[in-house]
Structure 1
Amino acid sequence: MPIRYTDELKTHAVDLVIHAQADSSTANGAIRRVAKELALSSETLCTWVRNYKSSGAMTPAQSIDLEAENKRLRAELAETNRANEILKKAVTFPESCPVDLVDRQFTAASPNLLLAG
């Protein structure tokens, strides 16, 4: 009669192997080590890991990459929001100035426009 393992044990064993394989210093022999620690057959654990990987689930290395990408994108978004705020203030600035001051700045900055008009 085959041994029935709980889903919790399978998940825990696969997680241990996946994390060990993600680190190059512990990747070699990870399945054998974890199988020995949990008193499992290496073949059984290898099958669980193969099924997990073929299911398309994320590995820890992929999730770390996603976390780094997420952090980078959040920083980029914050910088874009700061730039937007500056631009909004710049657009509303002439509205808050007296009209003659705006006209003087315009004519002083571009005297050629007066000659063309």
Structure 2
Amino acid sequence: MPKQYTPEAKARAVDYIMERLDRYKSVYAACNDMAPKLNVGKETLRRWVVQAQVDSGERTGPTSEELAEIKALEAKVRDLEEANDILKASAIFFARELDPRRH
């Protein structure tokens, strides 16, 4: 099971990397070097930093708010598709019950 980090811990780690980013060639290099010191996975830390850069406008991509909205919309689509499948199945069931050829 993945580790759960508090929002405060994420923010501190991202701030720590962002302050020192100019000392490294890339975000990957910074995260690769600093992750063990922060007791966070390298890729986890890199994703946090990249998302913080997107949220601040330094990089292109979907912001955290947009990602949350996409996730909510995908869940809504799943629910609607499930409801649609149930309605289709019930329509088929009742159509068979009303079929005069069955009696």
Asked which structure has the greater CA Rg, the reply is: 1
Give the TM-score taking structure 1 as reference length: 0.43
Pick 1 or 2: higher relative contact order, CA cutoff 8 A, min separation 6: 1
